[in-house]
Chains A and B, each alone.
Chain A
Amino acid sequence: GAGVSQSPSNKVTEKGKDVELRCDPISGHTALYWYRQSLGQGLEFLIYFQGNSAPDKSGLPSDRFSAERTGGSVSTLTIQRTQQEDSAVYLCASSPTFSSYEQYFGPGTRLTVT
């Protein structure tokens, strides 16, 4: 079946603009994660959705970052008033259930803030 997909693949934006990054998890997967991969910070957890439960937002670096998951499927990560330090690859992963430890990753979105 289809894997995790993310769009766009690459995004270049000007400092101060808002951006939206999209993640389509594997069909039927109830858990969804966002991670950020940057040169200075490595791979960092951002946010976790599990079914209809309140998301774990503890990894979001600032209040400029937010995410939602509609209908328990597609997720959108929004970054407001982008800064140059937001430049990174944003990875999405999904998992079959909250009891599964295996996460399946998408190809990521490379965000460049100029």
Chain B
Amino acid sequence: KQEVTQIPAALSVPEGENLVLNCSFTDSAIYNLQWFRQDPGKGLTSLLLIQSSQREQTSGRLNASLDKSSGRSTLYIAASQPGDSATYLCAVNNQAGTALIFGKGTTLSVSS
């Protein structure tokens, strides 16, 4: 059974720092990996999707990498801002015809 783990569970940084969020998964036979952002009490916003054949994806200050063989992904946030404060969820889809399996998330707090 696929399990997704995110480390750390919480992270506090001052504004302007670069940071890395980690995600690991136990079954490397995935179709894709998706990073989401969730603000308190709100729905999920998709940040980046990495297909299994890809190594990384970039969107603005965000860069996500995927190492399928080792079962790991990282989300790199450059020059963090207070508006980046949220919970970041990693999710994988490892079988055609099934839905995403989520990690528990990393709650990020960026102080000004």
A binds B: no
Chain B residues packing against A (C-beta within 8 Å): none
